[in-house]
Structure 1
Amino acid sequence: MTSLPFQDRLEAARALAHRLSAYRGREGMIVLGLPRGGVPVAAEVARSLGAALDVLIVRKLGAPGQPELAVGAIASGGARVLNDELVRMLGLSSATITAIADRESEELARRERCYRADRPPPRLQGRCVLLVDDGLATGATMCAAVRAVRQSGSARVVVAVPVAPPDTVERLRQEADEVVCVATPEPFGAVGSWYRRFPQVSDDGVIADLQAAWAEPPAG
């Protein structure tokens, strides 16, 4: 029985890694964290499972004047997801969506440079990929992440998160090969409400987790 709220991302990551124990030691598997908050969770999951760690940059496309309201998302590699119903309801034109996507693409590129420096993106073709975040609300960014990984030719895509609403989990099951979620409380609210401590994760924190993992490649 999972006790909510989680104390912090580390406790949540350990609970998630336990649910993923069937993947421990799987050859060629890679764990991709969604920055920023998903990276410390992904780092602990990768350590526990003996897997490689990397990141997949995803950016929410926020509605004009309501940046927290996601009308879609973009991911590294050019994948884009739109909530067509919400776009129609808000009356957003193609030009408006393009402008929002262009702006977020600039931040996506900045984070790629910041987190990787000269390190190339990981090769995903034929691999089992675990996509990890610290929680999901609408799931728009994770949906974009799944599609980006699919485009890269991965053999299996697993979404893995500590907490998400039940309807979001069901939607993602239509996209991913498997969805592993520790807790699906209702009513849901915000991801941070299911953690006692939920500090912002900095770029420096993401870089530190990545460099630590890259300095010690997983066994096998």
Structure 2
Amino acid sequence: MPVAAEVAGILRAPLDVLVVRKLGAPGYSEFAIGAVGEDGARVLNDDAHHYADEAAIAERIARESAEVARRVDLFREGTPAVDLHGRTAIVVDDGVATGATARAGCAIARTRGAASVVFATPVAAPDSLAGIPADEIVCLRTPAGFMAVGMHYVDFRQTADAEVVALLRAARD
């Protein structure tokens, strides 16, 4: 969200959130085997069943879907989502490892009627961008030997819910 807020501010565009949650692999929650999001968005990586069986995947989908619903209520504070019908939506992610959350975010924008979807990220694994369903992709770096998004930031702490709410409130005002 801090990256998206910067992009929206520079472009003088409305800021909103498309709530997406990673489905972490058993034993390694930071490695995405898929993602879920608002509007029933669900993405499974091709190799998801290599890392988890159906029961484990179903459990993660249920848990993360509940978290998506909680965060939608918290972040939007009763305000409607920005109307994307007929507009260009810029979906921003802080980085792309497997592409699961990026694919889910772009799918939500499409479901909401965006005429065009631009996906923007500072850094991505070189092979993860190919499956992102965007009309245009803007990525500043695709380093060889990519290991993890956090390796490309000096400070990669989780963004607190309160910070997301504050950024969205400021954008609405």
Which TM class, normalised by the smaller chain length?
over 0.9
- Find out whether 1:64 has 2:22 as its counterpart: no
Give the alignment partner of residue 90 of structure 1, picking from 51, 65, 71: 51
Is there any run of 5+ residues in structure 1 with no aligned partner, and where? Answer: 1-38, 216-220
Give the alignment partner of residue 10 of structure 2, picking from 44, 48, 51: 48
Alignment partners' CA distance in 1, 2:17 and 2:170:
13
Identify the residue that residue 37 of structure 2 maps to in structure 1.
75
TM-score w.r.t. length of structure 2: 0.93
Give the alignment partner of residue 188 of structure 1, picking from 146, 153, 156: 146
**Rg (Cα) greater in structure:** 1
Residue deviations 1:94-115, cap 9 Å, x none? Answer: x432222111111111111111
For the 8 Å contact 2:96–2:121, the answer to whether it is kept is yes
Give the alignment partner of residue 131 of structure 1, picking from 91, 98, 106: 91
1:120–1:183 CA distance, 2 compared to 1 (3 A): same
Identify the residue that residue 148 of structure 1 maps to in structure 2.
108
1:90–1:198 CA distance, 2 compared to 1 (3 A): closer
Residue deviations 1:121-176, cap 9 Å, x none? Answer: 2221111000001111111111111112111221000100111121112332xx11
TM-score w.r.t. length of structure 1: 0.74
Matched residue SS, 1:71 = strand
Alignment partners' CA distance in 2, 1:165 and 1:61:
18
Matched residue SS, 1:137 = coil
- Find out whether 1:212 has 2:170 as its counterpart: yes
Aligned Cα root-mean-square deviation (Å): 1.4
Identify the residue that residue 6 of structure 1 maps to in structure 2.
none
Number of equivalences: 173
- Find out whether 1:120 has 2:93 as its counterpart: no
Matched residue SS, 2:131 = helix
Identify the residue that residue 110 of structure 1 maps to in structure 2.
70
Higher relative contact order (CA 8 A, sep 6+): 1
Identify the residue that residue 201 of structure 1 maps to in structure 2.
159
- Find out whether 1:176 has 2:134 as its counterpart: yes
Is there any run of 5+ residues in structure 2 with no aligned partner, and where? Answer: none
Alignment partners' CA distance in 1, 2:93 and 2:110:
18
- The structural deviation recorded for 1:200 is 2.6
For the 8 Å contact 2:18–2:105, the answer to whether it is kept is yes
Alignment partners' CA distance in 1, 2:142 and 2:26:
30
Alignment partners' CA distance in 1, 2:150 and 2:134:
24
Give the percent of matched residue pairs that are identical in Structure 1 and Structure 2: 50
